[in-house]
């Protein structure tokens, strides 16, 4: 379904007490956000539950939108990692600014 974009897989946008979070920005995430009049530049965080393409396909474009093309240092990405002990944990990946 995702390969032919028969179903939207843009993730879930959460607004929690003024904090804007995008969960699993799959393919079409930017298009789906725009259709719903959600502004990716106002995102505070992106969370990836796992690394399948239907959950992470638009992570790059959503980070770019969140940081105004890398010009603003804002937001955080939480990604799941597997430690060598085989324990799963989330850790923050701070989004760097391209502005020097």
- Which is it for the CA torsion 55, 87, 82, 77, positive or negative? positive
- For the chain, the distance separating the N- and C-terminal CA atoms, rounded to the nearest angstrom, is 42
Residue 50: pLDDT above 80?
A: no
Whether residue 21 is predicted with pLDDT greater than 50 in this model: the reply is yes
Torsion sign across C-alpha atoms 79, 27, 53, 61: negative
CA 87 to chain centre: 23
Average pLDDT of the residues in 28-32:
89
* Tens digits of residue pLDDT in 60-89: 999 999 998 888 888 888 887 655 555 555
pTM, to two decimals: 0.74
pLDDT computed for residue 93 by the predictor: 57
pLDDT at 99: 45
Residue 95 pLDDT > 70: no
Please, what sign has the CA dihedral across residues 44, 56, 71, 91? positive
pLDDT at residue 11, as a whole number: 86
């Amino acid at each position: 379904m995702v390969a032919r974009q028969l179903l939207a897989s843009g993730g879930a946008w959460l607004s929690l007490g003024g904090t804007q979070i995008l969960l699993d920005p799959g393919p079409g995430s930017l298009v789906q956000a725009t259709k719903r009049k959600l502004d990716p530049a106002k995102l505070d965080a992106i969370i990836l539950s796992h690394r399948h393409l239907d959950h992470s396909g638009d992570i790059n474009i959503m980070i770019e939108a969140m940081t105004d093309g890398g010009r603003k240092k804002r937001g955080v990405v939480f990604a799941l990692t597997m430690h060598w002990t085989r324990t799963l944990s989330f850790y923050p990946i701070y989004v760097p600014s391209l502005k020097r």
